[in-house]
């Protein structure tokens, strides 16, 4: 039996793979999409807590960690409005929520996943599930071999395999290995958009409490990253958007040792020390817990009193000078030590992956193995929480498809 020959084979039916397959087939290319899981788009279904935060009105390079040149080129070619237009063309209605987050109006990720799957099938692309690719060989054509011993030939291969994140719904290291065998170097992947484990066990007293903060991460005394938003205290440390949004930077820095962070519980106040000193003139006769009433959660105030060694029944103005200084400065720069990142099965993304210096910034074609394209989360690009990773995935799949279909 003759081995089937395709124009393009795409490995991985996630965000970038589905967009790429649809665009390639729509342009008249014989396209095969191979997915190792039994269902495509599983991570899309899980994204945004099942609502699919598919892009962000504020999308720009400052919301990403990774190769700034590649990210800038990508967002220039497939910007926010391009993304909205793309999904509108698929029949998906969207709405904007707080912080520029874009969701389908149905409030369910199936609106995005089903629209994409239908568009891929209607374009004429062939989809095969439960088809894990184990080997790619270079020759006159690329030979693609699956675990079930099926073999396909193709002119172009797209690695859209995703990362190690969320192994319970298909995340794995298989894509990194395929890329490595084709000559690429891999920056060791680490969990990103994952909660932070901290050394200070006393914070477990705050488990379940949410607070708006400005979180600043430091490495060797310099600011590593900063984020403002909600933090959720847990038995192991810090979760919530503010923690997740520094996790990529922190995850990388943890390879060199512990990372220090500070929490500012009064992020809305531009000059908090001036504000607190003025408050002291008005409420200096109050006990510490009463002084912070209306500013801090009661449990946070109690922890602050213990942390600073304050005498809880002594008025603020009667505390020792050193204790008073700690009471006024700690709420805006509470020091915490990060010891780790929560594991892969809790991570929504990955930092690390295929070295982007080995990728053509304009096309996503491999510089190590021409004819191979690498897209999405398999690359060493990590966006912050809020739809930025999905936007990059759609964009990279769309750009790779355009490159392959416009070739003479």
pLDDT above 70 covers what percent of the chain? 100
Specify the CATH number for the domain of residue 132. Answer: 3.50.50.60
The predicted structure's pLDDT at residue 390: 98
The predicted structure's pLDDT at residue 407: 73
Alpha-carbon distance 173 to 191, whole Å?
12
pLDDT at 1 over 60: no
pLDDT digits (tens, 9 = 90+) for 227-253: 999 999 999 999 999 999 999 999 999
Pair 312, 208 in one domain: yes
CA nearest 361: which of 391, 399, 390, 394? 399
Pair 329, 379 in one domain: no
Pair 199, 337 in one domain: yes
Alpha-carbon distance 265 to 237, whole Å?
16
* Cβ pair 371, 142 in contact under 8 A: yes
Pair 206, 234 in one domain: yes
Alpha-carbon distance 276 to 119, whole Å?
57
Pair 158, 268 in one domain: no
pLDDT at 288 over 90: yes
In this prediction, residue 2 has a pLDDT band, given cuts at 50, 70 and 90, of confident
Domain end point (choices 342, 371, 394): 342
Domain end point (choices 342, 361, 395): 342
Beta bridge partners of 226: 216
What lies within 8 Å, CB to CB, of 292 at 6+ separation is: 300, 301, 304, 331
Alpha-carbon distance 259 to 338, whole Å?
5
What lies within 8 Å, CB to CB, of 28 at 6+ separation is: 405
The predicted structure's pLDDT at residue 112: 98
Pair 32, 134 in one domain: yes
The whole-number average pLDDT for the span 16-36 is: 98
Domain end point (choices 290, 323, 342): 342
The predicted structure's pLDDT at residue 408: 58
Alpha-carbon distance 183 to 251, whole Å?
26
Pair 185, 273 in one domain: no
Alpha-carbon distance 182 to 159, whole Å?
11
Pair 182, 216 in one domain: no
Alpha-carbon distance 60 to 58, whole Å?
6
The predicted structure's pLDDT at residue 197: 98
Pair 148, 33 in one domain: yes
Please, what is the average pLDDT of the chain? 97
CA 69 to chain centre: 19
Pair 183, 40 in one domain: yes
Provide the domain count of the chain: 2
pLDDT digits (tens, 9 = 90+) for 102-151: 999 999 999 999 999 999 999 999 999 999 999 999 999 999 999 999 99
Environment class of residue 366 by beta-carbon count within 10 Å: exposed (0-12), middle (13-18) or buried (19+)?
buried
Say which residue the tokens 């809020």 belong to: 386
Pair 22, 103 in one domain: yes
Pair 72, 183 in one domain: yes
Pairing of strands 334-341, 259-264: antiparallel
Give the domain extent around 203: 195-342
């Amino acid at each position: 039996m003759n081995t089937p020959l395709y124009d393009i084979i795409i490995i991985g039916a996630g965000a970038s793979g589905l967009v790429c397959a649809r665009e390639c087939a729509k342009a008249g290319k014989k396209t095969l999409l191979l997915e190792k899981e039994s269902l495509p788009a599983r991570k899309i279904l899980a994204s945004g807590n099942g609502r699919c935060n598919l892009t962000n009105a504020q999308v720009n390079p400052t919301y990403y960690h990774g190769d700034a040149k590649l990210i800038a080129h990508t967002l220039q070619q497939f910007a926010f409005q391009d993304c909205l237009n793309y999904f509108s063309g698929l029949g998906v209605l969207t709405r904007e929520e707080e912080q520029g987050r874009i969701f389908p109006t149905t409030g369910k990720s199936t609106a995005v996943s089903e629209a994409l799957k239908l568009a891929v099938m209607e374009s004429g692309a062939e989809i095969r599930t439960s088809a894990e690719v184990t080997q790619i060989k270079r020759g006159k054509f690329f030979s693609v071999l699956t675990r079930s011993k099926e073999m396909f030939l193709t002119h172009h291969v797209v690695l859209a395999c995703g990362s190690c994140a969320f192994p319970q719904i298909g995340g794995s290291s298989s894509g990194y290995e395929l890329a490595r065998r084709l000559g690429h170097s891999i920056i060791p992947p680490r969990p990103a958009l994952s909660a932070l484990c901290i050394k200070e066990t006393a914070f477990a007293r705050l488990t379940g409490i949410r607070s708006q903060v400005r979180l600043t991460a430091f490495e060797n005394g310099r600011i590593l990253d900063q984020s403002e938003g909600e933090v959720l205290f847990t038995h192991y440390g810090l979760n919530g958007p503010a923690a997740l949004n520094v996790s990529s930077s922190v995850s990388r820095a943890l390879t060199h040792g512990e990372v220090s962070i500070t929490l500012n519980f009064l992020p809305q106040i531009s000059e908090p020390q001036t504000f607190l000193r003025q408050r002291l003139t008005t409420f200096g006769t109050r006990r510490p817990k009463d002084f912070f009433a209306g500013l801090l959660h009661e449990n946070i105030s109690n922890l602050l009193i213990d942390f600073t060694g304050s005498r809880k029944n002594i008025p603020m103005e009667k505390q020792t000078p050193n204790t008073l200084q700690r009471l006024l400065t700690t709420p805006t720069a509470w020091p915490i030590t990060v010891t780790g990142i929560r594991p892969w099965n809790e991570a929504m993304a990955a930092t690390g992956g295929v070295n982007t210096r080995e990728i053509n910034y304009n096309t996503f074609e491999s510089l190590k193995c021409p004819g191979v394209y690498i897209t999405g989360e398999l690359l060493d690009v990590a966006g912050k929480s809020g739809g930025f990773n999905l936007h990059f995935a759609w964009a990279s799949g769309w750009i790779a498809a355009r490159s392959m279909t416009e070739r003479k």
